[in-house]
Amino acid sequence: MAASEARERLLRTASELFYREGIHAVGVDRIVNEAGITRATFYRHFPGKEDLVEAYLDEEDAHIRAAFAEAGAQSDEPRRLLELVIEGLADDVALHHTRGCPFINASAEYPDAGSAVRATVARHRSWFRETLEQLLAADGNADPALAAGELVLLRDAAMVGGYLDGWERVRPSFVAAARRAAGIPV
């Protein structure tokens, strides 16, 4: 049951278009044309466009969790892991996510908090917050919940600021604030 090649091309193309140009701004025509498939193939793999949006966000979520797992494989020390996470975030904004945060951008287009898309966003954010909190607690942080909250704040800010103001302008403030929030001496 290897995922079909057409399906993978479809999802990859849609993800890139959604991220780069926005969701409502990209029509099904664009997607199927650039993916080199037909509408029939599209609707055989996904019930509708919104399910494709969910798959796009699920994929982003999986990427980030994989990056965390990879960092976890590099070190067992909580302090070192926190540093890796902060560095990884900075690199990610600088190199890959230069058009903002996929989850934040999608939420701007999906105001209904009960929608499936927003539920996917909420799931991702909960996982991120809880993972940071556990990491901070393992590092002996005095108030892991508060510190995790600050790191979530700063990740959002880095994504937005990197997109709208340019990363080179945001980087110093972000790194300084993030290390302080995590209780890591600068």
Partner DNA sequence: GAAATGATAGAACGATCTTTCTCTTTTTGC
Partner DNA sequence: GCAAAAAGAGAAAGATCGTTCTATCATTTC
Where does this chain bind a second copy (CB under 8 A)? 20-22, 24-25, 99-100, 103-105, 107-111, 121-122, 125, 129, 146, 149-150, 152-154, 156-158, 160-161, 163-165, 169-170, 172-174, 176-177, 180-181
Go through 22-57 and write b for each residue having 16 or more CB atoms within 10 A of its CB, e for each that does not: ebeebeeeebbeebebeeebbeebbeebeebbbbbb
SS3 51: helix
Token look-up 């926190």 returns 82
Rounded Cα distance, 92 and 184, in Å: 20
Least Å distance, CB 184 to a second copy, is 15
Of 23-31, 63-71, 141-149, 156-164, the window that binds DNA (rule: CB under 7 A) is 23-31
Of 64 and 121, which CB lies nearer to a second copy in the complex structure?
121
| Cβ atoms of 31 and 42 closer than 8 Å | yes
| Residue 30 touches which of DNA, a second copy, none (Cβ within 5-8 Å per kind) | DNA
Among positions 40, 73, 95, 186, the unique one binding DNA when judged by CB under 7 A: 40
